[in-house]
Amino acid sequence: MTQQKSGGGGTEQEPKGVKVPALRITQIRAIAERARELFDVQQAWVDVITLYERDLHRAGVVFDIAEQGEMDQDHGLTFPNQGVIQIREDVYEGAHANNGRDRYTMIHELGHLVLHDNVALSRSIGPHKWIEDSEWQADTFAAEFLMPVDLVRQLCQGPEDVARIFGVSRKAAETRWRKLQEQGLIKDDGAIRSRPIARVNR
Ligand SMILES: [Zn+2]
């Protein structure tokens, strides 16, 4: 059993997780889309707390809030094969208070559960590609789940909109914006805005 550590979505220079079977961005995007459908996430802004307390519970996931002393440096720990997610107390409280980084951490942990179930996680931390990295995959899942490409394109004209509409940190919003630009999915001068922002529900 391997524990998955969460750093909350930072950008590191080298893969920091364990080696898992490769998943491309487009594959993780499709999985995140299916997960949003499965949990019936209708709004742009994901209600992370209700997702955990109601929807994951219904899906049979054991969700545990752990004291800071138990968790040490880990913001979250996921045991995919047991269907267990532990979230550090202050992270949970932060997500409750709409802190973007903590919301991201909770969806990052969900990413481990969704992506790394039935995966024989290797203890090896030898060199591997980004797309084979458990942490990169969970971060990518979080970005796709919290900030779906279509909604970013429809609702946002810049990273400020992304942060506000999706309830993510400024850093996560800027990273998302830059990556979607690199992938040619939004234009440099802002997305194609086809819907007024006032239609977004919180
Ligand atoms: Zn992780």
Residue 65 CA, ligand 1 centroid: distance in Å: 16
Whole-number Å distance, alpha carbon 84 to ligand 1 midpoint, is 13
Q: Which residues pair with 86 in a beta bridge?
A: 64, 77
How far does residue 135's CA lie from ligand 1's centre (Å)?
A: 5
Cα 50 to averaged position of ligand 1 atoms, centre (Å): 21
- One-letter amino acid at 95 equals A
Phi and psi at 197, nearest 5°, equal -65, -25
Q: How far apart are CA 116 and CA 33, in angstroms?
A: 17
Condensed to tens digits (0 to 9), the pLDDT of residues 111-165 reads 999 999 866 555 555 688 999 999 999 999 999 999 999 999 999 999 999 999 9
pLDDT of residue 7: 44
Q: Which amino acid is at 72?
A: D
The Cα–Cα gap between 16 and 135 comes to: 7
Letter string b/e over residues 158-181, b meaning 16 or more CB atoms within 10 A of that residue's CB: ebebbbbbbbbbebbbbbbbeebe
Cα(188) to centroid of ligand 1, in Å? Answer: 31
pLDDT at 8: 44
CATH classification number, 1-9+17-146, choose in 3.30.40, 1.10.10, 3.40.120, 2.60.40? 1.10.10
Q: What is the pLDDT of residue 70?
A: 87
Residue with tokens 């060199």: 127
Measure 88 CA to ligand 1 centroid, in angstroms. Answer: 13
Give tens-digit pLDDT for 6-55. 444 445 578 888 889 999 999 999 999 999 999 999 899 999 999 999 99
Q: How far is the CA of 11 from the centre of ligand 1 (A)?
A: 13
Output the pLDDT for position 5. 44
- The domains of the chain are located at 1-9+17-146, 147-202
pLDDT mean over 190-195: 49
What's the rounded Cα separation, in Å, for the pair 53 and 38?
A: 15
Distance in Å, CA 5 to ligand 1 centroid: 4
Is the alpha carbon torsion for 158, 159, 160, 166 positive or negative? Answer: positive
CA 194–ligand 1 middle distance (angstroms): 35
- In angstroms, the first-to-last Cα distance of the chain is 38
